[in-house]
């Protein structure tokens, strides 16, 4: 009988619930899953009833893996306790992504970085994870030099409250009522908001946009990668999309890019525009793979080193819960837990 693992989960919002669902779907060898939150209660998560326990620094003894989906404050507060208990912490918050002692991992991109973990592994930002799933194989083949991204990010990026507010606004609009605006800076229904996270007053990029650059550099081991991003919140429930302009060190054609991505795990090439086939958030929702399409030569250049591409991926899955579970699977496969 294969070994089974005691799994903890801190936080049961939209991402935490999705983690439970993915653990079950992928038949992760969990002997038990114990959910922790701010207070004790019974909670139905992904159709299963869990007895939720309050999180304390003594909660983690006997666990092999602890998934964190409870926000930055909880991750910082309990990190040392998880490591001291001998468990592996897989953290979905931003708390440790730029810590040089913490690997930042998408398994299809840089699973080898798990080998130097010291007990904590960080999950990247959802937009970075979705982008790199499609971009990393091209980088490995041709050497990515510069990337300009525009992201179209779903309400789910703001958690369960964001998804609920989008639904509420749609109902209020149909009923002719004033729209509730709490989770976002502005009304999201019938609107786009070019503002996600706080603005950095030194350069007027948002922290969300800067995360894309900093995380991509770390995960690709490319500290000089040139990357600029504009992040936009769109009235879509849970799948992010991204328009990417890519510059490589070597020549690359759209045909080469499609061939590379067809062989890349976690990517599905959806690229037949003359028949209206291309990545869309509707088709990416509830899917594991990142959809990649609209692959074309950059006609603003005089050489063959530039491509344009459009990708869509489920924010809660590829951008969060699925990636965390795949990290756990890789830890098991590499004998690190």
**Contacts with 329 (C-beta within 8 Å, 6 or more apart), sequence order:** 26, 28, 107
Task: Write the DSSP assignment of 10-33 as a string of letters.
Answer: E--SHHHHHHHHHHHHTT--EEEE
Q: What is the mean pLDDT of residues 302-330?
A: 97
Please, is 331 exposed, middle or buried when counting C-beta atoms within 10 Å of its C-beta (0-12, 13-18, 19+)?
buried
- Distance (Å, whole) CA 241 – CA 311: 5
- Distance (Å, whole) CA 256 – CA 271: 13
By the 8 A CB rule, do 258 and 272 touch? no
13-70: pLDDT as tens digits: 899 999 999 999 999 999 999 999 999 999 999 899 999 999 999 999 999 999 999 8
77-120: pLDDT as tens digits: 999 999 999 999 999 999 999 999 999 999 999 999 999 999 99
- Torsional sign, CA 12, 18, 20, 21: positive
Task: Place 315 in a pLDDT band, splitting at 50, 70 and 90.
Answer: very high
What number of residues does the chain have? 337
Q: How crowded is the C-beta side of 309, counted as CA atoms within 13 Å?
A: 30
Which tokens is 197 given?
């996270």
Which tokens is 108 given?
């299809």
Domains and CATH numbers, the chain: 5-124+320-333 (3.40.50.720), 128-315 (3.30.360.10)
Find residue 54's DSSP bridge partners. 37
* pTM for this predicted structure: 0.95
Percent of the chain with pLDDT over 90: 97
Q: Which residues are catalytic?
A: 126, 240
């Amino acid at each position: 009988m294969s070994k089974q693992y005691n799994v903890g989960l801190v936080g049961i919002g939209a991402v935490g619930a999705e983690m439970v669902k993915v653990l079950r779907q992928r038949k992760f060898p969990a002997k038990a899953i114990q959910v922790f939150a701010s207070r004790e209660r019974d909670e139905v998560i992904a159709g299963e009833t869990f007895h939720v326990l309050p999180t304390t620094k003594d909660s983690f003894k006997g666990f092999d893996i602890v998934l964190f989906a409870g926000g930055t404050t909880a991750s910082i507060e309990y990190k040392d306790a998880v490591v001291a208990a001998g468990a592996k912490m897989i953290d979905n918050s931003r708390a440790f992504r730029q810590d040089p002692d913490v690997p930042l991992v998408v398994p299809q991109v840089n699973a080898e970085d798990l080998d130097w973990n010291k007990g904590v592994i960080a999950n990247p930002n959802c937009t970075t994870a979705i982008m790199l799933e499609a971009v990393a194989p091209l980088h490995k083949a041709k050497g990515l030099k510069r990337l300009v991204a525009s992201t179209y990010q779903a309400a789910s990026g703001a958690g369960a409250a964001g998804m609920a507010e989008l639904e509420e606004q749609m109902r209020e609009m149909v009923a002719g009522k004033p729209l509730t605006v709490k989770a976002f800076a502005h009304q999201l229904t019938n609107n786009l908001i070019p503002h996600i996270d706080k603005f950095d007053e030194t350069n007027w990029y948002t922290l969300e946009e800067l995360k894309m650059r900093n995380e991509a550099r770390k995960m690709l081991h490319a500290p000089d990668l040139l990357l600029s991003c504009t992040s936009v919140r769109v009235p879509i429930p849970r799948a992010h999309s991204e328009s990417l302009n890519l510059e490589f060190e070597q020549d690359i054609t759209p045909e080469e890019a499609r061939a590379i991505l067809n062989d890349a795990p976690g990517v599905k090439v959806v690229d037949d525009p003359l028949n209206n086939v291309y990545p869309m958030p509707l088709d990416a929702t509830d899917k594991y793979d990142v959809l990649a399409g609209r692959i074309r030569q950059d006609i603003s250049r005089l050489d063959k080193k530039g491509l344009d591409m459009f990708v869509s991926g489920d924010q809660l899955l590829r951008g969060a819960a699925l990636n965390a579970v795949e990290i756990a699977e890789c830890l098991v496969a590499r004998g690190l837990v």
